[in-house]
Amino acid sequence: MNAKKYAAEAIGTFWLTFAGCGSAVIAATFPQVGIGLVGVSLAFGLSVVTMAYAIGHISGCHLNPAVTVGLAAGGRFPAGQVLPYVIAQVVGAVAAAALLYVIASGAAGFDVSKGFAANGYGAHSPGQYSLVACFIMEVVMTMMFLFIIMGATHGKAPAGFAPLAIGLALVMIHLVSIPVTNTSVNPARSTGPALFVGGWAMAQLWLFWLAPLIGGVLGGVIYRWLSDEPAGVVEGRKPA
């Protein structure tokens, strides 16, 4: 049933947003035992690995509007299912951000205006990177993410290892791009925290929809052109 696929996508995106953004908000700079940039990168990657094995056989485990759109562009996913998948992903991400807000606000001195793992450019980029630099980074990182997803889930790829390749790719992406944009490559993940930060985060959210969607389409189309077998499974990932 499609309803079960949508529920799986909502749950999976909830986990990615809660675990990934939660690691940044709660644990990244915790006194003396902060996990830092590497820890946050691992949290995002591990959230995808764990959910890919858990729900890959149900929904394909996209967890990301850019992945869904990219897989459709690459011939791996039906266009008619893109919108409900995206809606489910955004719902899951917003629910995760809401729960994270409740938990994080229980700490003394919590200030949501400091960022709450939101993505930004210019003055709101961790490294003060320009809009152009952030746009390019998000397009390229998402393009390569889709390229890796398409390859890892190809019919001729080693069976059962796709979640590891995809999760490790997301770790690498975060290691490179956290200083630039705080790493989006996922419009749903960006939307959840932005709704709670408001102000500048909502004003800059357009970039973290536009750039990943462009990158996703590019990655899907390029791999489709490169590959001799355009389709793996219709949802985009082989069961683990």
Quick: pLDDT tens for 30-83. 666 678 889 999 999 999 999 999 999 999 999 999 999 999 999 999 999 999
User: Which structure tokens are listed for 181?
Assistant: 């944009």
CATH entry, 2-226, from 1.10.10.10, 3.40.50.10800, 3.40.47.10, 1.20.1080.10: 1.20.1080.10
Whole-number Å distance between alpha carbons of 148 and 210 = 20
- Residue 108, pLDDT score: 84
**234 with 76: CB under 8 angstroms?**
yes
Which sign, positive or negative, has the C-alpha torsion 158, 224, 63, 139? positive
**237 with 52: CB under 8 angstroms?**
yes
Look at the block and give the residue holding tokens 């750039």.
211
Q: Give mean pLDDT in consecutive 10-residue pieces for the chain, a chain of 240 residues.
A: 93 97 86 80 96 95 97 94 97 97 90 89 96 98 97 85 95 96 97 95 97 98 83 40
**Cα-to-chain-centroid distance, residue 135:** 16
Listed by start position, the domains of the chain span 2-226
User: Which structure tokens are listed for 125?
Assistant: 């980029």
**66 with 140: CB under 8 angstroms?**
no
**95 with 13: CB under 8 angstroms?**
no
- Residue 234, pLDDT score: 39
